[in-house]
Structure 1
């Protein structure tokens, strides 16, 4: 794999995309394995799941960076030659798009808010690729996600198109099988 290679992996829920992405990153080179996690602990069950996953990854040699929002803050945690797995775009998108809903004013309703976050994410991904050897990005399929919101699906589609355009490899997962689309 070339330095700064972006690999985009998409698939339905339980398609095997995350496990496939982990195996790709694990065998991509000798750099440090970094897992970018965008999940949030909204309740005790989720807090326990996140901690269990973090512990499992640590035992497997992964360095975990928890970043639910503001992916640009990840840059300070990356080193040259890192092998990075970001799982998952859909979690980040839901966090950012609906940020502020509990206060009655979410980003999705504020003109230009999501455009600003998307612009920052694009810049961040390109900066990551200037540092790391591999960035594998995992996402759910646009119409196969738990969120049935037209605005959410539109943003996810927009993000996917850009990621595929930037990617050296675009892979679609289905029932544990990988299909290279690019």
Structure 2
């Protein structure tokens, strides 16, 4: 039983909503992509036009949760944190390379920042190449061929990276609770993110 007095606020409701919605859209995109490219799945699901439609519209919607979430101050503050590398982040990376037990971090560690930045870039590229493939009149055939190549291989890379992200989250129960409820134990925050000055829960 977690006592409220021992908890600190890590994520606001808006931040959790953006994460969950983006995760759901990404999950649908990856699942429908698998149904389009893996023959046994394609045969099992059938109705390829519907799968394509769901894939396209979920893909186009991928940036929407973040764009809407930027209306909230908490998310904008975290966006700034995730986009900047500090001396603490360099220490964290050196600690990981050296397999050191102590790994200093702010609200987000360097690995989380790299993942967030990579994901944002991947979403922009995957949506851009998807548009070139979908709206065939936007570019010549050679561009669409290149877009298809980049889109397909980047989708495979995204699947691998997302699987790694889920695996890391699965290994850290408190991190999962933080994303689900917004609150984490103070001891966990002090141990895993010693340079983060978390606000008290409301």
Alignment TM-score > 0.5, same fold: no
Structure with higher strand content: 1
Instruction: Tell me the TM-score normalized by structure 2.
Output: 0.26
- Bigger Cα Rg: 2
For CA contacts below 8 A with separation 6 or more, give which structure has more relative contact order.
Answer: 1
Structure with higher helix content: 2
